[in-house]
Amino acid sequence: MHIIERITGKRHTVVIEPVVEEDYKTITKRKYFFNWKTEKKHKLYKLRRGDSDIILGLISMLNEKRESRIEIRLLAVSVENRGKNRQYERIAGTLIGYACREAMKCYGTEGCVSLVPKTELKKHYINQYGMMDAGKQIFLAGLPLLKILNTYEDENN
């Protein structure tokens, strides 16, 4: 998995790993838009460049076993990686791809990834990631899920 530096076009390998207690010193609401400490009871992961400890994105996931589904509870990129002047591309997509990988590991081809988007982001997720509208939630399953997995896990993309 990789992200792309916008100015240079350089690819950087990323690591996605569980958040540890020490990380909460730098995970502030100002930088990551939520109080992430409230997510401690869920699976919480950070994305960072392989050569840096700086957290670029966060994802909180809930495994809904009865529904063969991974729910993305929260997803955020750092403040400097939002908008037109962001430093890196592919942070959110790589985190969504990671959720897809977890769904495939747990449920194989029956796996699904869903999230409840903020109203203003719903169209973006549908257009950018091919998510399907299910009313309150949007989701990836079947071929769209595999497409995201392949796009963000394949080093050639």
pLDDT digits (tens, 9 = 90+) for 123-154: 889 999 999 999 889 999 999 999 999 898 86
Q: Domain of 67: which CATH number?
A: 3.40.630.30
Q: What is the dihedral of CA 125, 128, 131, 134, to 10 degrees?
A: 40
Residue span of the structural domain in which 148 resides: 2-153
The mean of the pLDDT values for the chain is: 92
106: three-class secondary structure by DSSP: helix
pTM above 0.75, yes or no: yes
CB-CB contact of 20 with 50 (8 Å): no
Confidence of residue 157 (pLDDT cuts 50, 70, 90): low
Helices (H) and strands (E) in the chain, counts: 4, 9
Domain count for the chain, please give it: 1
